[in-house]
Structures are given as structure tokens and as C-alpha cells.
Amino acid sequence: MVLLVLGVGVGARPVEEKKLDPAKPDFSVYHTQHALTEYIAQIVKIHPSTMQIEEMSRTDKDASPDSAAYTSSMQVVTVEPGGLTEDHSNKIRLLLAFGEHGRELITTETSFRLLRLFADPGSAMDIVEAQGASPHRIRSVLHRSVFKIMPMFNMGGRKKVEAGELCERKNGRGVDTNRNWDIHWGFQEKDYDPSEEYPGTAPFSEPETQILKALAEDFKPHVWLNVHSGMEALFMPYDHVATIPTGPAAEATYNILEELNMVSCRGQCAVGSGGESVGYLAHGTATDYMYERLKVPLSFTWEIYGDSTADFHDCFRMFNPLDRSEMEEVADNWALAVFRLLEFLPKHPDIPHLQIGTNPGGRSARVGQHAQPGGGKEVFAKEGGRKRQKVANTNPKRPAEIRVEGEGVVLAGRKVDGKRWEVTTDPLVGNETISLDGRSLRALHPPGTLSLTRWTLLVVVAFLALACYAGKGLRLAGNSRGSPPNLSSRRSSKPPTLSP
Ligand SMILES: [Zn+2]
């Protein structure tokens, strides 16, 4: 994302400098565009139960008569670690883009490694456990998440870079797609440099941004992550003003980035608003649009590598590690950072929690059981006069065990007494108890963790459940699907007050 600030301070330099010998990419270390595309297709092909790929393509219909039509195509990989499904409405949805700027080759290497980790999540869990993370917690989130990944967003720009234009960040026809979004579009700062950040003839003039916008509108992600290089930073909105949004959700977002900074960036990343931290404001960016217009609650730009000692014209060195060991270290680290991010997501009030025992409509359900032919018991939920829905099965061979299948997740639990089973749904939130005495499911929480919000929710739920039982016909509209309590609100840390 970071711009080259050409010319700034150059006048102070001695005229006679040693001749610059810009670093060039070593394609025995980095993959070529062609090789990466092939490898990604292969990874997906051998994991058909959790991955699928599509080629998305658009052509500019409004290209002027004297210019050739401009087409952009890119791979979009869907990854659903719990198994591919059609309906993503109950899942945590994450949309990730890599390689938006052609010269940032390290980001596309990171996408390749991320897909390899998704192909072998066991190895990812081993590594994060060695880092001190909870693999159980990450696995729990992983299995109820779905990812849409654009491993190489800017195919046209990347082609130019591989042809030798090592400072190229724009797309195949000279537009910076990260200035092409309809949010504060076209605004020019004093140091505006069209060779770096030409925003196009109009918002969404570019096929790349059209593809991504359509994808985001359809997918409705909870998390948008745009991976760049040029510095080390974990950004949230805004890019076009030097401030971050206010409120509990934005505070939770900021806290997640702070935690990620410690576990994935040695505490060295700049954290906060892009507009405040980069040193210049950026207008028409994807992250601002995703957050402000599409209401994506967690919108991020990660800057994963930068060599601040590199000469302004030595672009490959400035944006990418040169040798193999450092390249692999950076790419592996930031691919794993996506898994570390999952660990923190349940703390965010806008991330949906796993709910068991509720019907798809989100209403509260009565719970009962009946014997199965095999000897076990089926636990079911039933809402009013509606169809019974299975929520769990007991194990006929081990009657004290239960398996809960909900929202693409299979969870195990244990018997508490003759009528109740306890199932761990989310280590950060607590356990759910399935009661078989005809009452709704309820959540158990470790002592002392009930926030005021949670108490209020419980009282309201209990009242409504009682009213329902008294036959007053009250419906519990989404009682158990409301926003979870903002756990981070108990924390003392606050986002910094940033100057406008
Ligand atoms: Zn960039």
C-alpha cells in the first residue's frame, strides 16, 4: 500500500552517489505469476471437500473507442474447513485479497502459504500451539468459518512487474485499484503523484474493483483483509482521515489488532488508522469502502514487510525480502497470522457466536429427547408447532457422551445429570447446557464473567421463555442470536485519541 514518495528530501542528497544497483526478483526464490496460479489450482483440486476455485473476469465496457478493451481475470478460492456448504449465513465469513499492488510479491507468496496451511490445518495447529496459542480455540472458530481468498488480485500489474517494471503498483492499465473505490474518490493531497496513485476515470472504473465489490456485496464478510507490503502495520479504517471510528465495536477491533501485533509482529507493527499511521491520507480505498459503505465490521489492511533503508528507486528491495530464508519466514509468519486472528475473533461483538439448539430462524426452541433404534437418544429442538430439529445424538455405547451437530460444527459433550448435557461451544464465552426437561437451552458461564449485558440478556430471555410457557404466544425473536457481550469492554485499554 505504501507509496514511494519520490523526490521528497532528494534535494538534500549529495549529487554524486554511487550508482544504484536495484535488486531484482530471484524467480528461484519467488514464484512467477504463472507458477503460482498453477500451484494454487492444484492445491484446490486435491482438496475438493474443503476448497473450490472460480475464475472471475470482467471487461471494461466503457473503454474509449481509441483504446483497447481492458479485461481482468483472477482466481477466487473458497475455503470452508468444516466442509463445503451452500449456505454461509451462519458462518463467520472472511474475505482476503493479496497482491493488489504488483510490486509486492511477498504478499502473493503469503497467500500461497496460507492455502497450503488450509490444505493441512493439522500442521498449522501444531505451529500455533508451539507459539502459545490455543489450537482448540482456533479450530473451533476455523470449523465455523468460510474464507474467500483472492491470491493474486492484480494480474495485469504483476505481469508488468515480472517484465521488469519493478516499481509498478497499479493495474494493467495504470490505475491504482486501491484508490478506485467510491469513498472520498479522486481527492488529491498536495503530494499526489499520478504515477503512483492514479484513481481512474471514475469510481469503480476498473474491472478488478468491480469484481471485488460484487463479491463483497454477495458474500457479506465479517472480516475484510487486504494484504500489502512496504512497512509493518496493522491498519483499520480510516485511510482518508487521520482517525479511527469510535464505539465499542471499533474499540474491540483495535484491541484485536493490538493483540495480533504482539503475537505476529513482535510488537513492532504500527496499529490503528491507516490515515494516521502511514504519513499520508489515502482516498478511495477498499478498506474504507468495505467498512463505511458495505458495513464490514472488521476491515483491515495489513502491511507485512518493508525495508525502510532501501532507496526510493530500489523497489523490489523496499517491498520484498531478497533471500529465500527471510522470504519464507515473512510469508509463513503472516499466513499463520490469519490463524492467530481467528483466535481473537470471538471477542468481537460483531462476530456471530455458535448457537446450538436454535432453529435456523433464530428463535428459541423447546428441547426434548426420544430413543433411537440403535440404543442412543436423539435430542431435538422444537419451536412452537414447527418441525422438530435434531440438535444432538447420544452415543449408544457410551451413554454419558453426546455429539452436537450445528452450523457445520461437530462438538462433543458430557452428561451432567439425568436431564442435562454440557457442551463446550466456545472457550471464550463458556459452555452451553442442553436441558431435557422441556426448557430452552441455556448458557453456563464461569463465575465472575457475567457482564451486565449478559445478565440483561439472560433476564430478558428467562422472562420471555416463561411468558412463552404460560401460553401467551410470545415469540422469541432472535433472543439467542443477539450480539454477544463485548468482552473487551472490561479491559482498561482504549484506542488512542488520534488527531484529526
Ligand atoms: Zn500496497
User: pLDDT > 90: what percent of the chain?
Assistant: 56
Looking at the predicted structure, is the pLDDT value of residue 216 above 90? yes
Residue with cell 504478499: 107
Task: Identify the pLDDT of residue 355.
Answer: 55
342 shares its domain with 377? no
| Alpha helix segments (H runs only) across 148-247 | 155-162, 194-197, 207-219
310 shares its domain with 419? no
Ligand 1 centroid, distance to 420 Cα (angstroms):
53
Flag whether 137 is in a domain. yes
Identify which has the larger pLDDT, 384 or 67: 67
Ligand 1 centroid, distance to 29 Cα (angstroms):
21
User: What gap in Å lies between CA 453 and CA 141, rounded to an integer?
Assistant: 23
Flag whether 373 is in a domain. yes
Which of 147-151, 251-255, 376-380, 387-391 is predicted least confidently?
A: 387-391
Encode pLDDT of 467-500 as tens digits.
Answer: 655 544 333 233 333 333 232 332 333 332 222 3
303 shares its domain with 391? no
Q: Identify residues whose C-beta is under 5 A from ligand 1, the ion.
A: 1, 101, 228
Ligand 1 centroid, distance to 81 Cα (angstroms):
29
Ligand 1 centroid, distance to 472 Cα (angstroms):
58
Mean pLDDT, range 416-420, rounded to an integer: 71
Task: Identify the pLDDT of residue 460.
Answer: 56
Which of 227-236, 258-267, 468-477 is predicted least confidently?
A: 468-477
User: What gap in Å lies between CA 3 and CA 191, rounded to an integer?
Assistant: 11
Last residue of a domain, one of 286, 313, 347: 347
Flag whether 312 is in a domain. yes
Flag whether 24 is in a domain. no
131 shares its domain with 239? yes
Last residue of a domain, one of 347, 382, 415: 347
User: What gap in Å lies between CA 347 and CA 255, rounded to an integer?
Assistant: 9
* DSSP string computed for 4-40: P-TTTTGGGS-S--PPP------TTTSPPHHHHHHHH
Out of 303, 383, 407, 432, pick the active-site residue.
Answer: 303
Mean pLDDT, range 322-343, rounded to an integer: 97
Flag whether 194 is in a domain. yes
199 shares its domain with 109? yes
User: What gap in Å lies between CA 198 and CA 177, rounded to an integer?
Assistant: 9
291 shares its domain with 385? no
Ligand 1 centroid, distance to 149 Cα (angstroms):
17
40 shares its domain with 96? yes
314 shares its domain with 400? no
146 shares its domain with 277? yes
287 shares its domain with 416? no
Identify which has the larger pLDDT, 423 or 469: 423
Looking at the predicted structure, is the pLDDT value of residue 415 above 70? yes
Ligand 1 centroid, distance to 236 Cα (angstroms):
15
* DSSP string computed for 376-440: -EEEEEE-TTS--EEEEEE-SSSTTEEEEEETTEEEEEEEEETTEEEEEEETTTEEEEEE-SSS-
Ligand 1 centroid, distance to 107 Cα (angstroms):
9
Flag whether 15 is in a domain. no
What is the domain-level CATH number for residue 234?
3.40.630.10
What is the extent of the structural domain holding 201? Answer: 33-59+70-347
Flag whether 478 is in a domain. yes
Catalytic-residue membership of 328: no
Identify which has the larger pLDDT, 496 or 307: 307
Flag whether 489 is in a domain. no
Q: How many domains does the chain contain in total? A: 2
222 shares its domain with 343? yes
Mean pLDDT, range 138-145, rounded to an integer: 86
The DSSP bridge pattern shows strands 71-79 and 51-59 to be: antiparallel
Ligand 1 centroid, distance to 257 Cα (angstroms):
19
Identify which has the larger pLDDT, 362 or 329: 329
Last residue of a domain, one of 312, 347, 382: 347
257 shares its domain with 214? yes
Ligand 1 centroid, distance to 145 Cα (angstroms):
26
